[in-house]
Amino acid sequence: MDILDDYPYEIRPLTPDEGGGFLITYTDFWGCFSDGETIEEAIVNGRDALAATLEVMRVENLPVPAPHSRQNRKAG
């Protein structure tokens, strides 16, 4: 299993004033978010953002938090 799948996320629709589409945020990481025109696109883009966040944390020798329970995951 890919470790990225272990991290819970939240997705919410963006208002027309925010540009529309969907916003994905990872609850274990402050500032790790992305968006997409569809929920599926937001998830793909969010995984890219999470992978980049994890890589920076490893390079900077920062502690990487363990994923919280997948039962907390929400979509839409």
Residue type, 10: E
Say which residue the tokens 């966040």 belong to.
53
Residue with tokens 């890219």: 48
pTM score above 0.85? no
Q: What are 9-40's pLDDT values in tens digits?
A: 999 999 999 999 999 999 999 899 999 999 99
pLDDT of residue 3: 84
**Higher per-residue confidence, 69 vs 43:** 43
- The pLDDT, as a whole number, for residue 48 is 97
Residue 69 predicted with pLDDT over 60: no
